[in-house]
C-alpha cells in the first residue's frame, strides 16, 4: 500500500485529487492531507471521504517547523504539493503571503521530504510561469520562464527550488505545469465560478478590459488523472506540461455561462483591466501525451455543463462562502485564521 502526503488538499484541485485517488485505489492507498485552512481551504470539499479509513486530515502550515513531526512519524512514498496562494488578483494587492507559502513553504517541504527519504516529490505548478503569449504559439517545457505577476513569480521561484533539489541532491522530483482548471468546488473568486454564481444571484458579471484575453481551459478531473500518470510513470527530474485543448477568450466563456445558466437578470460589465494582465496562455502537452500516454477526456462544452449543474445543485456550498458563514464556522472550530 502506498502512503501519500498531499498538501493543500482542502482547496479546489487538491480535494478533487484526494477524492480521485481514493476512488481509484480504495483501501490500497493512504492519504495524509496537510492544509492550513486559509480562506481557500474548505473541508466541505472532502465531506465525501472524511470517514474513509485511509484518509487523514492534519491542520498545519507547510511553512512551519512542526511539519517535521509528520515526517518523523510516517513514511511517505510521495509528496504531492498543491498548497499555495493561488489567486493572481490577491497577489497584486498583497504579495508577501505568496512568498511565505509558495516559495518558503515549498523549500521547507522539500527539505523535510529529502531528509526523510520520500521517494517522489510531485510539485504542482502552472503555465503562468512561462509568462504571456501573443496571437500564436504555445508553451513547451523548454519555454523560458518569464512570470509577470507576483503569484506567477512566486510559483516560478518554487519551480526553480524544486529543480535545484534534483540537480544538487538528485532528489526525485517532478514538476507539473497546468493551464486553467475549472469544475465543481472552485472558490468563487476565479473567473468561471464567479460568473456562474453571480449569474444565479442576478449580479453584474465583471469582465476585465475588453474580455479578449485567452485562457486554455482543462476540466479538473483531467488534471487529476494527469498527476496520477506522472506519479506512476514520470521520469525523475522531468517537467510535464498539462492542458485541455480548449483556448477561449474570456468574453466567450462568460457568454457560454450566460447561455447555460439561462434565466438571469445579470449583465456583462466591462471593468478596469487587471494590472499586468497576461494576454494569452496555450499549452503544448505533447510530452506527457507521447511519453506517458495521458490525454484530456472532457471537452469544454461538457465540462462547463457539468460545472454549471454542480453550482446549481450545491448553492449552499457557494452561498456559505459568499456570505462568510464558512469562515465563521472554521474560526469557531480551529481558531482565528
Ligand atoms: P486553492 O486556492 O483552491 O487551494 C489552495 C489550498 O492550499 C487551500 O486549501 C489552502 O488552505 C491551502 N494552503 C494555502 N497556504 C497554505 C500553507 N501555507 N500551508 C498549508 N496549506 C496552505 O488552489 P487551487 O486552485 O486548488 O490550486 C492548487 C495548486 O495548483 C496551486 O499550487 C496552484 O498554483 C496550482 N495550479 C492551479 C491552477 C488553477 O487553475 N486553479 C492551474 C495550474 C496550477
Ligand atoms: O493558468 C493557470 C492559472 O489559472 C493558475 O495558476 C491560477 O492559480 C489560477 O487562478 C488561474 O489564473 P488566472 O488569472 O488565469 O485565473 P482567473 O480565474 O483569476 O482569471 C481568468 C481570466 O479571467 C483572466 O484573464 C482574468 C479574467 N477575469 C477574472 C476575474 C476573476 C475577469 O475578466 N473577471 C474577473 O472577475
Residues spanned by the domain of 319 = 2-334
d(CA 185, CA 94): 24
- Give the Cβ contact number of residue 96 at 10 Å: 11
Q: Which three cell numbers stand for residue 25?
A: 485505489
In terms of Cβ atoms closer than 10 Å to its own Cβ (0-12, 13-18, 19+), residue 48 is middle
- Give the Cβ contact number of residue 337 at 10 Å: 12
Q: Please tell me the predicted confidence (pLDDT) of residue 336.
A: 58
User: Which of 10, 46, 86, 128 has most ligand 1 atoms within 8 Å of CB, for mutation?
Assistant: 86
Q: Which three cell numbers stand for residue 111?
A: 527539505
Q: At CA 141, angle to CA 159 and CA 110, rounded to 5?
A: 20
Domain CATH for 249 = 3.40.50.720
Please report, for residues 63, 99, 132, 304, the alpha-carbon distance to residue 156 in angstroms, rounded to integers and kept in the order given.
18, 11, 14, 29
CA of 264 to the centre of ligand 1 (A): 31
Is the minimum distance from the CB of 102 to ligand 2 under 6 angstroms? no
Q: What is the pTM of this model?
A: 0.98
User: What are residue 184's phi and psi, to 5 degrees?
Assistant: -60, 155
- Give the Cβ contact number of residue 66 at 10 Å: 8
User: Which of 217, 274, 278 has most ligand 2 atoms within 8 Å of CB, for mutation?
Assistant: 274
CA of 85 to the centre of ligand 1 (A): 6
d(CA 22, CA 24): 6
Q: Please tell me the predicted confidence (pLDDT) of residue 324.
A: 85
Q: Please tell me the predicted confidence (pLDDT) of residue 9.
A: 98
Averaged pLDDT, groups of 10, the chain, 337 residues long:
97 98 95 98 97 97 98 98 98 98 98 98 98 98 98 99 98 98 98 98 98 98 98 98 98 98 96 98 98 98 98 98 83 67
The string of pLDDT tens digits covering residues 187-224 is: 999 999 999 999 999 999 999 999 999 999 999 999 99
CA of 217 to the centre of ligand 1 (A): 17
d(CA 314, CA 202): 17
Is the minimum distance from the CB of 204 to ligand 2 under 6 angstroms? no
Closest approach atom of ligand 2 to CA 181: 4
| Helices and strands: H and E segment counts in the chain | 13, 12
Asked whether 22 and 306 are in contact (CB, 8 A), the reply is no
Q: At CA 221, angle to CA 203 and CA 71, rounded to 5?
A: 110
The string of pLDDT tens digits covering residues 241-281 is: 999 999 999 999 999 999 999 999 999 999 999 999 999 99
- Computed over every residue of the chain, the mean pLDDT equals 97
The alpha carbon of residue 329 and the mean position of all alpha carbons in its chain are separated, in whole angstroms, by 24
Closest approach atom of ligand 2 to CA 253: 23
CA of 82 to the centre of ligand 1 (A): 5
Residues annotated catalytic, as ranges = 127-128, 151
d(CA 337, CA 331): 7
- Domain count for the chain, please give it: 1
The string of pLDDT tens digits covering residues 10-31 is: 999 999 999 999 999 998 999 9
CA-nearest residue for atom 44, ligand 1, is 126
Q: Please tell me the predicted confidence (pLDDT) of residue 325.
A: 83
Q: Please tell me the predicted confidence (pLDDT) of residue 329.
A: 74
d(CA 307, CA 196): 9
* Ligand nearest to the backbone CA of 35: 1
Q: Please tell me the predicted confidence (pLDDT) of residue 116.
A: 98
CA of 220 to the centre of ligand 1 (A): 13
The alpha carbon of residue 17 and the mean position of all alpha carbons in its chain are separated, in whole angstroms, by 10
Q: At CA 112, angle to CA 65 and CA 176, rounded to 5?
A: 115
Closest approach atom of ligand 1 to CA 15: 26
Amino acid at each position: 500500500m502506498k502512503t501519500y502526503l498531499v498538501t493543500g488538499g482542502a482547496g479546489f484541485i487538491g480535494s478533487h485529487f484526494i477524492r480521485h485517488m481514493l476512488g481509484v485505489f480504495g483501501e490500497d492507498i493512504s492519504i495524509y492531507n496537510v492544509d492550513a485552512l486559509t480562506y481557500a481551504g474548505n473541508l466541505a470539499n472532502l465531506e465525501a471521504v472524511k470517514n474513509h479509513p485511509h484518509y487523514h486530515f492534519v491542520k498545519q502550515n507547510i511553512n512551519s517547523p512542526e511539519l517535521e513531526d509528520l515526517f518523523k512519524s510516517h513514511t511517505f512514498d510521495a509528496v504531492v504539493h498543491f498548497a499555495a496562494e493561488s489567486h493572481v488578483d490577491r497577489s497584486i494587492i498583497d504579495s508577501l503571503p505568496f512568498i511565505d507559502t509558495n516559495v518558503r513553504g515549498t523549500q521547507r517541504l522539500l527539505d523535510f521530504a529529502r531528509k526523510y527519504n520520500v521517494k517522489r516529490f510531485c510539485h504542482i505548478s502552472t503555465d503562468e510561469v512561462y509568462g504571456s503569449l501573443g496571437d500564436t504559439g504555445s508553451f513547451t517545457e523548454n519555454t523560458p520562464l518569464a512570470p509577470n505577476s507576483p503569484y506567477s513569480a512566486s510559483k516560478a521561484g518554487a519551480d526553480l527550488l524544486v529543480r535545484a533539489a534534483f540537480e544538487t541532491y538528485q532528489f526525485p522530483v517532478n514538476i507539473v505545469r497546468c493551464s486553467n482548471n475549472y469544475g465543481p468546488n472552485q472558490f468563487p473568486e476565479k473567473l468561471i465560478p464567479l460568473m456562474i454564481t453571480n449569474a444565479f444571484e442576478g449580479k453584474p458579471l465583471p469582465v476585465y478590459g475588453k474580455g479578449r484575453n485567452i485562457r486554455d481551459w482543462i476540466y479538473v478531473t483531467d488534471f487529476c488523472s494527469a498527476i496520477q500518470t506522472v506519479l506512476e510513470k514520470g521520469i525523475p527530474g522531468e517537467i510535464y506540461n498539462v492542458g485541455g485543448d480548449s483556448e477561449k477568450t474570456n468574453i466567450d466563456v462568460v457568454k457560454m455561462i450566460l447561455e447555460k445558466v439561462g434565466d438571469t437578470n445579470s449583465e456583462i460589465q466591462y471593468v478596469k483591466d487587471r494590472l499586468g494582465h497576461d494576454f494569452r496562455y496555450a499549452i503544448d502537452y505533447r510530452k506527457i501525451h507521447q511519453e506517458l500516454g495521458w490525454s484530456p477526456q472532457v471537452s469544454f462544452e461538457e465540462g462547463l455543463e457539468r460545472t454549471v449543474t454542480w453550482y446549481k445543485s450545491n448553492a449552499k456550498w457557494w452561498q456559505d462562502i459568499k456570505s462568510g458563514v464558512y469562515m465563521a464556522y472554521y474560526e469557531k472550530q480551529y481558531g482565528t485564521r
